[in-house]
Amino acid sequence: MMITVTAVVHAVLIAPTKTLSGFALVTNPLQHIVVPITFVGVVALAGPRGGITSGTLGRALLIPAAWVAYTLVRGALVDHP
């Protein structure tokens, strides 16, 4: 689940502000676009069947939601050069 949050945060907040060059032109999209899409596809096609309730999904989203909140608060507080 956290890789999906990473993809969303990257696409919405980070990618529009960055200009890539060199090796990052290949590695950055692989890490932040291809891997998350592949993960969601694999889970959808071959992931666990049954046993996933809305409660389970909610608990699975707690850590990613906390990570997003922490990252946004920390980003607002840290002095960037």
Query: Which CA distances in Å does 31 have to 18, 27, 37, 57, 79?
Result: 15, 6, 10, 24, 27
Digit-coded pLDDT (tens) for 21-36? 999 999 998 989 999 9
2-13 mean pLDDT: 85
What is residue 38's predicted lDDT score, i.e. its pLDDT?
A: 92
- Listing DSSP states for 11-50 in one string gives IIIIGGG----TTHHHHHHIIIIIHHHHHHHHHHHHS--S
More confident residue, 64 or 49: 64
| Whether the predicted model's global pTM rises above the 0.85 cut | no
Q: Which burial class, exposed, middle or buried, applies to 7 when counting CB atoms under 10 A from its CB (0-12, 13-18, 19+)? A: buried
Find the domain containing 36 and state its range.
Answer: 1-78
Tally the domains of the chain: 1
Is the pLDDT at 75 greater than 70? The verdict is: yes
